[in-house]
Amino acid sequence: DAKTTQPNSMESNEEEPVHLPCNHSTISGTDYIHWYRQLPSQGPEYVIHGLTSNVNNRMASLAIAEDRKSSTLILHRATLRDAAVYYCILNTGTASKLTFGTGTRLQVTL
């Protein structure tokens, strides 16, 4: 599995935008970039995914570099409920396992 690298932790103030980076320099052409998050005491939760183009949904935006070697998850207005571990995962798009790395622990403060 191609490897991803994320900062261990980040902090944000509530209602400010948050940019969570992910490096994946060995990504292959068929790898989708998936983001999941895990809130305390809950199962992981799908956030967003993309292949080449930037993507938006109700939860977040995903900005993908032109060479696809990095991506950024953007939370437009962080709330206290967004405090979680965010995982950037490469996936082939078929029914295959998710390989969780260490993720980024996001702390949101008032």
The tokens 């029914």 sit on which residue?
Answer: 95
53 makes contact with another protein (CB under 8 A): no
Q: Which two tokens stand for residue 36?
A: 């999941």
For residues 4-43, which are near another protein according to CB under 8 A? 32, 34, 38, 42-43
Output 96 or 110, the one with its CB closest to another protein.
96
d(CA 44, CA 89): 12
Largest CA distance in the chain: 41
Output 13 or 102, the one with its CB closest to another protein.
102
For residues 67-106, which are near another protein according to CB under 8 A? 85, 87, 91-103
